[in-house]
Chain A
Amino acid sequence: MIRFLNVSAEYAPGRGIQGVSFSIKRGEFVLLAGPTGAGKTTILKSIFFELLPASGQILIEGKFPRINKKRELSRLRNKMGIVFPEARLLPDRNIFDNVALPLRIAGEPRKRINLEVNRLLFRFGLKDQAQAFPLELSSGEQKKAAIVRALIARPFILIADEPLANVDSESSAEVLEHLAQINAEGMTILAATHVPEPYMGMANRILKVREGRLVE
């Protein structure tokens, strides 16, 4: 589904990844583990082309995306679910509108948006918070809302950067449970973390990253 072929990318001079190659199959739960600054986020950002590779190639669903075609890149991003380390919910709109954003961007009809958003909010236990604003929610609830937003457009992969960052232990267990559940339903997940222990037993594979290279 996703294949890195000798990819190098830099987010600052001398900082980034060098010659990274790996592949992820459909339905897998892959964990990128490594210390802070190892290059995990650079790998994730390269997948949704927030960072462009300096060399090497990235195959997504068997194709080399034409990233110079902005519309094609947008379409690709709309079909990837991204969870950022901070929830990155827009503070001036409620949870419903935050979650609905990818569908609205995709131009989906209102009926479908209402149906899908309510269904997923209910599933993640956020139905009662639909009209609340992000700052009125706990960090765990914010993270769950961010995951719901990432899943709302039925992506082919969920890319989660430090999904447990800033989340208390109780909420962490809940988030992990949800991730395990959606993976069990067939969703491909690529998560990055500097603390791999909570994911043990859930991830199919762990890719260890150190100083910009895959070491294991």
Chain B
Amino acid sequence: MERWGVSKLAIVLHGLAGAAILVALYMALVFAPTEATMGHVQRIFYWHVATAWVGFFAFFITLVASIAYLRTGRRRWDIVALSSVEIGLAFAVIMTVTGSLWAKPVWNTWWTWEPRLTTVAIMLLIYATYLLLRRVIEDPGRRARFAAVYGIAGFVSVPITFMAIRWWRTIHPVIFKSEGFDLTPAMLAALIVSVLAYSLLYISLLLLRTQLEFLSDEVAELRESLDE
């Protein structure tokens, strides 16, 4: 347990993540220039893209941890996979809601069934089901194995979601292109800082969430040994 306790490194990391978020907030709201056609609403963009990026990344980490769990059978990988799904879902929900709030003034609708939004909805559904699946299996070993298999099979939706705006003609703009970005340097700087800040926040949350699960394991173990 001590290994997972609050180390100095963890405290530095949490502090760094908090500071980065504040800097990113400043960059997005003050530093970045106001976009000519959309106005201030465009400032949603920085955090919308940052949460999207980190959400996709979190699901990728789940895929990696799921494979590692099936390979090694180590509980810690199962914990990482579960934690990453929870955080990824939180970020993906933020991405969806901010996207919707941005779509209303710009596209004049909260939601439209175009490829990107549709695939995002499917992705959210898959990872919500992942959490549900864990709840209906009692045996811990089986729960971890089945969840890992679902974490791997479910990941197929992530690249499709990512590529949806590239493969099909859609209303949703593409930011990351091979030819470069359609952004002014200041906007790009704000975007990069936001993505970095959210990545740090992800790592910090992942650390906290995994620690929580380890603690929960420890409590369960202790309870079992006492009940004997």
Do A and B pair up? The answer is no
Spell out A's residues near B (CB within 8 Å): none
Spell out B's residues near A (CB within 8 Å): none
